[in-house]
Amino acid sequence: MKVSDILRVKGNTLYTVAPDEPMARAIEIMAEKDIGSLVVMEHGDLVGMLTFREVIQCIVKNNGGVGSTLVRSAMDDHPLTCTSETELDEVRRMMLDRHARYMPVMDRRMLMGVISFYDVARAVVDSQNFENRMLKAYIRDWPSSEDAQPSAQL
C-alpha cells in the first residue's frame, strides 16, 4: 500500500498558513477546521509545518499565551515529507522515528496533501480487515476432505 492510496480515500483538502501570520490566527484556523496541523507555505514552497505540538510549546514559552508570535518562530522548519509513491511501511517507520503525527506529501515541489498518523493507522487496519475477510471466506469455502481425495481408478 502506498501514500497515494490514503490520499485517494482521504481527499485533497489542504489548509495552509503563511509564515508571517500571527500564531493566534493559525490557532483560530486549526480550531475552526478541527485540524491538528497547518502546512506553512511561502511563495508556493513548503517552508514548515505547524502542529498542535508547536502550538503548545509556543504557549508554554509565552507563559500561557501567544502574544504577537508569528508562525515562523514556532513552526517546524524541517518537516518530514514523503511522496505519493512512498510505501506505507516506510511512512510508519519515518513517523515513528521522528515522533511525527503529520506528514506533508510532496510531488517534487508541489504539495499534494497531508497524511496523519491516524490516516496511516486507519489504512493499515482497513487493509488487515479486508485480508481477514478474504481469508475467512477462503477457509469457509475450503474443499472437504472427500472432495480433495483423488478418485481411485480400477
pLDDT digits (tens), the chain, 154 positions: 899 999 988 877 899 999 999 999 999 999 999 999 999 999 999 999 999 999 999 999 999 999 899 999 999 999 999 999 999 999 999 999 999 999 999 998 899 999 999 999 888 887 777 777 777 777 777 666 665 555 555 5
Q: Give the pairing of strands 16-17 and 110-116.
A: unpaired
Residue 139 is predicted with a pLDDT of 78
Residue 10 is predicted with a pLDDT of 84
Alpha-carbon distance values, 151 to 25, 89, 141 (Å) = 77, 47, 21
Residue 68 is predicted with a pLDDT of 92
Residue 143 is predicted with a pLDDT of 67
Angle at which helix 117-140 crosses helix 88-98, to 10 degrees, equals 140
Task: Give 50's DSSP letter.
Answer: E
Nearest Cα to Cα of residue 41 among 94, 103, 109, 108: 109
Residue 124 is predicted with a pLDDT of 81
**d(C-alpha 68, C-alpha 112), whole Å:** 31
